[in-house]
Amino acid sequence: MTLADVAKLAGVSVSTASKALNGKPEVADATRARVRHAAAELAFHPNPLARGLISGRTRTIGLLTDELGGRFSMPVLLGVENALGNEEMSVVLCDARGDSIRRQHYIRTLVARQVDGFIILGESNDLRPSLTRDIPVPVVYVYGESGDPGDLSILADDEGGARLAAEHLISLQRRHVGHITGPVLYRAARDRAAALRQVLHDSGLDLAGGEPLHGEWSRRWGRHAAHMLVTADPDVDAIFCGNDQIADGVCEALTNLGRHVPDDVAVVGYDNWETLAADCRPPLTTIDLNLEQLGAVAVEHLSAALDGHRTTGVIRHPGRLVVRESTGPSPRRPSAAVRA
Amino acid sequence: MTLADVAKLAGVSVSTASKALNGKPEVADATRARVRHAAAELAFHPNPLARGLISGRTRTIGLLTDELGGRFSMPVLLGVENALGNEEMSVVLCDARGDSIRRQHYIRTLVARQVDGFIILGESNDLRPSLTRDIPVPVVYVYGESGDPGDLSILADDEGGARLAAEHLISLQRRHVGHITGPVLYRAARDRAAALRQVLHDSGLDLAGGEPLHGEWSRRWGRHAAHMLVTADPDVDAIFCGNDQIADGVCEALTNLGRHVPDDVAVVGYDNWETLAADCRPPLTTIDLNLEQLGAVAVEHLSAALDGHRTTGVIRHPGRLVVRESTGPSPRRPSAAVRA
DNA sequence: CTGAAAGCGCTTACAG
DNA sequence: CTGAAAGCGCTTACAG
């Protein structure tokens, strides 16, 4: 079905049919109606290749990731995909798998495919080299920050997330808050630790154990570090963990040590990795990064850039606290009624 | 940069330039060399929209999923993406999120975008209604089987996977093998249970506890069911679990019951969900579904179909056993030397 | 308000 | 072996 078929059925020229369907004002109402009718009857969909050839726009954006399989890519991708759908755009996906040859190859491929813009999805939220000079269309960086401040980066708000967790624990009257998290070389780990300390400091509190415990992002490390922390500071009554896996291990270790979660020690995770957080014993209070929204915000800004409204700099998108049982609402006062 | 620029630089006509670059035999060697040179100099990439407009092929395939966020979509997607890269094709991604309106909308969108073919990714491996009649290009179903046997479905081999697990346990001299798995309404759960029973039967063994324990796909269920199974059959010396989360819960419960894994009870999971299986205590022996390969096989068959070699029916792609510590190599004979 | 013409960037008969 | 012409499906000045 081509526009020519529609035009013929409607008894007009191809150019008139085009204008009618594209809402140009110079078409007579009756004509427009006839053309629309014909188009509907033939289930006509304009060929996007032909349109793209003329307009130079393909209504397609390229999403370049470094590690699709990682924990953070998927939710962002979902958000992007969904937001693009609302704009009648599609996403072409390329996973460079951390390999710079692949990355350059994909950039060339996507540019050759005439994508209207790029979203570059980082695998960690550390700084990464800008790729913008290789790309002739607008680019938005998501999750991982571009090293070039002239680029636009949409990031998760690590400090804000840590603050949410810290304030939640303090509101529960916890006074001895420890921190078990990932490697110190991750900016996310450092930023969250700093924010936690700041909030504690503002409340006149010190970090339980004196220093954050930096290790792996694993359950194993959570188990191990929980032992260390309880030994170092037996009064600890709350632990803020760098991710949900660590928190899971912490809960397990605390339980094995005879400490009740949350009555004796409240535990907060990070990431809200559903399958883990909800299935933990007890289910984890945690910080959701709102990664889908991150993807949606990226699309929003990319669309603006395509319309000529470019933004630069860093946008930190807030997370949210998800309260589950690992931080009980009434500390040290387990209600028999509730438990029954 | 257009072909016209290349032609001008090489001093030939556009049509000759086109033939030279496309390897047509009728071009003089010297001319071809000059054109290639010019193209390289200008970093010329033919406009795929123009090519697509002529050829009717876009070198793009549509990937329609029902739940991208699920545990199984991502690996398949990775395999598809990678395999397509080798064929110089791209993937456009659409997630219907289980909504049939969205699904139909996306099908229309992708068809309008002139994708050369579809891959339809199921969220569960149960039968699903065929969508092929709405799609005028070749379709391959992956992970979830199409209800129409005239379609091609590439599936994980559940029976084969269960057999691998069962044979592994039997080779370790286990005689009392129990099965804790997901809801009976999942075909995967039923198929695996049946295959396990068959293997046990062939070895003259019965299922420990008499019946498979069907419940949720969760750690919580694993913990609970492990208690049940040990009570029902205290001699149980191996448990094959329907997924890694269940296996994780089983390991935890067994340990709390004072049963050593694997010395007293060997445990096998399913899915090889890396972050979980490797971080479990002990690390899980499990079945990897080879989902990336599933995606690659789908692309292979789709490419063949695009070349006119269509296949139909069901292909079951084998998984593989990944041995970790939850099935020790020397049952009931823990070596002090090894442990030290 | 409508339609004939040119053109987006390329490929492919066709003529020379 | 090379090039002028037509055409893929559409849009957009331009003329009427």
Express each pLDDT in B216-241 by its tens digit: 999 999 999 999 999 999 999 999 99
Question: Does one domain contain both B120 and B258?
Answer: no
The least confident of A12-16, A269-273, B59-63, B68-72 is B68-72
Question: Does one domain contain both A148 and A11?
Answer: no
pLDDT at B334: 45
Are the C-beta atoms of B75 and A69 separated by less than 8 Å?
A: yes
Are the C-beta atoms of A270 and A322 separated by less than 8 Å?
A: no
Question: Does one domain contain both B200 and B266?
Answer: yes
pLDDT tens digits, residue range B11-24? 999 999 999 999 99
| Inter-chain touch B90–A92, beta carbons under 8 Å | yes
The whole-number Å distance from A18's CA to D16's C1' is: 19
Question: Does one domain contain both B301 and B222?
Answer: no
Are the C-beta atoms of B322 and B272 separated by less than 8 Å?
A: yes
Sign of the dihedral defined by the CA atoms of residues A251, A257, A261, A262, in that order: negative
Question: Does one domain contain both A132 and A169?
Answer: no
pLDDT at B333: 46
Sequence-ordered alpha helix ranges (H) in B203-243 = 219-232
Specify the number of domains making up chain A.
3
pLDDT band at B114 (very low <50, low <70, confident <90, very high): confident
Q: What does the alpha-carbon distance between residue B67 and residue B95 come to, in Å, rounded to a whole number?
A: 6
Question: Does one domain contain both A150 and A193?
Answer: no
Q: What does the alpha-carbon distance between residue B251 and residue B238 come to, in Å, rounded to a whole number?
A: 11
Question: Does one domain contain both A256 and A162?
Answer: yes
pLDDT at B329: 67
Q: Which two tokens stand for residue A255?
A: 């339980």
pLDDT at A329: 66
- Residue A134 within a domain: yes
pLDDT at A56: 86
**Nearest nt (C1') from B15 Cα:** D3
- Residue B53 within a domain: no
- Residue B100 within a domain: yes
pLDDT tens digits, residue range B203-212? 999 999 999 9
Are the C-beta atoms of B222 and B247 separated by less than 8 Å?
A: yes
Which of A298-302's residues contact partners 24+ apart within 8 Å by CB, and which partners? A298/A76, A298/A79, A298/A80, A298/A83, A298/A119, A298/A140, A298/A142, A298/A154, A299/A61, A299/A79, A299/A80, A299/A83, A299/A84, A299/A87, A299/A119, A300/A83, A301/A140, A301/A152, A301/A154, A302/A61, A302/A117, A302/A119, A302/A138, A302/A140
Q: Which two tokens stand for residue A64?
A: 């370049």
A242 phi and psi, to 5 degrees?
Answer: -70, -25
Q: Which two tokens stand for residue B141?
A: 């179903």
Q: Looking at the predicted structure, is the pLDDT value of residue B55 above 70?
A: yes
Q: Looking at the predicted structure, is the pLDDT value of residue B30 above 60?
A: yes
pLDDT at B307: 87
- Residue A48 within a domain: no
Where residue B31 sits, what CATH number does that domain have? 1.10.260.40
pLDDT at B108: 87
Domain that holds residue B8: 3-46
Q: Determine the residue of chain B that is closest to A111 in CA distance.
A: B45
Question: Does one domain contain both A176 and A275?
Answer: yes
Q: What are the residue ranges in chain A where pLDDT is below 70? A: 329-340
pLDDT at A334: 45
Q: What is the mean pLDDT of chain B?
A: 92
Question: Does one domain contain both B13 and B109?
Answer: no
Q: From the candidates B3, B49, B218, B220, which should be mutated to test the interface with A, based on the most A CB atoms within 10 A?
A: B49
Give the C-alpha distances (Å, rounded to integers) separating B114 from A317, B46, B52, B62, B107.
Answer: 36, 18, 9, 9, 11
| Inter-chain touch B77–A68, beta carbons under 8 Å | yes
pLDDT tens digits, residue range B74-113? 999 999 999 998 888 999 999 999 899 999 989 988 988 8
Q: Looking at the predicted structure, is the pLDDT value of residue B339 above 50?
A: no
Where residue A108 sits, what CATH number does that domain have? 3.40.50.2300
Question: Does one domain contain both A124 and A166?
Answer: no
Q: Looking at the predicted structure, is the pLDDT value of residue B337 above 80?
A: no
pLDDT at A200: 97
